[in-house]
């Protein structure tokens, strides 16, 4: 399964059970540096949408390798260490990055 498919599967699960998404209106941009892919994830009114090759401005941009994104989706990434060592870069609202991590924990695929 590709990382895009993993993210879409998780988005599907979130759309089926949106309780933890109440009040979240944000867009996240994932720049996967080793593959050059750009993914955008939109949270709005309890729904989640994943868009490939999006270039819209996002509230929070996360730059990381594909393996780190997979680990993030599986709640297996030490985000603090990844951030401190530079393997995870966050631009925009840091609070939204922390919120995303909490949400992903609840919707493991």
Q: Which residues pair with 44 in a beta bridge?
A: 47
> How confident is the model at residue 54, as a pLDDT?
78
> How confident is the model at residue 109, as a pLDDT?
62
What domains are defined for the chain? Answer: 3-106 (3.30.1050.10)
- Output the pTM of the full model: 0.92
> How confident is the model at residue 73, as a pLDDT?
94
Residues of the chain with pLDDT under 50: none
> How confident is the model at residue 55, as a pLDDT?
75
Q: Which residues of 63-91 are buried (b: 16+ CB within 10 A; e: fewer)?
A: bbebebbbbbbeeebebeebbeeeebebe
């Amino acid at each position: 399964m590709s990382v895009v498919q993993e993210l879409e599967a998780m988005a599907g699960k979130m759309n089926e059970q949106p309780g933890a998404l109440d009040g979240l209106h944000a867009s996240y941009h994932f720049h996967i540096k080793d593959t050059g892919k750009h993914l955008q994830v939109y949270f709005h009114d309890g729904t989640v949408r994943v868009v490939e090759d999006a270039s819209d401005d996002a509230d929070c941009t996360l730059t990381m390798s594909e393996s780190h994104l997979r680990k993030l989706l599986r709640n297996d990434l030490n985000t603090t260490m990844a951030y401190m060592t530079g393997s995870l870069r966050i631009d925009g609202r840091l609070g939204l990055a922390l919120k995303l991590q909490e949400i992903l924990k609840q919707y493991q695929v």
